[in-house]
Structure 1
């Protein structure tokens, strides 16, 4: 069961759809650039910064789940 959850988690990470995460002001300034390389770099940076809170919430949720499961007695 634990290994299956790890595989599902890895699959979901690999399935992530590229997101356009720029604010309106950043987009307006960066769209005027020729190569669009700076815009791509800033967009990737924003997406990476968004990942950290989700990882933290996942870790806290897992720890709560693990502690709750440990405290519930099993009926044999």
Structure 2
């Protein structure tokens, strides 16, 4: 059961992280980025993805440590 949950979590994380083309802009950011041009819009999009990835990495690390601790207790 735990292996299945771990596999599902890994698949979810990889499906979020792996897409090459990702659009992570709200409507206001999109309008602003369209006025700036192509290069700044890509930079803004990359920054948003970077800021979203950091908390996911933290949550993944904490979940892994929790899972490892539970596994040792059993």
Tell me the TM-score normalized by structure 2.
0.70
After TM superposition, the structure 1 stretch with the greater mean CA deviation from structure 2, 15-24 or 53-62, is 15-24
CA offset digits 1:9-40 (Å, max 9, x no partner):
9xx48x7103101111111122134x411000
Richer in helix (by share): 2
Question: Corresponding residue for 1:50?
Answer: 52
Structure 1 stretches of 4+ moved >6 Å: none
**Of the two, which has the highest radius of gyration?**
1
Question: Corresponding residue for 1:5?
Answer: none
Unaligned runs of 5+ in 2: 1-9
- What is the CA–CA distance in structure 2 between the aligned matches of 1:26 and 1:48, rounded to whole Å? 15
Unaligned runs of 5+ in 1: 1-7
Question: Corresponding residue for 1:4?
Answer: none
- What is the CA–CA distance in structure 2 between the aligned matches of 1:64 and 1:26, rounded to whole Å? 37
Q: 2:64 aligns with which of 36, 59, 62?
A: 62
Tell me the TM-score normalized by structure 1.
0.69
User: Does the Cα contact within 8 Å between 2:33 and 2:41 map onto a contact in 1?
Assistant: yes
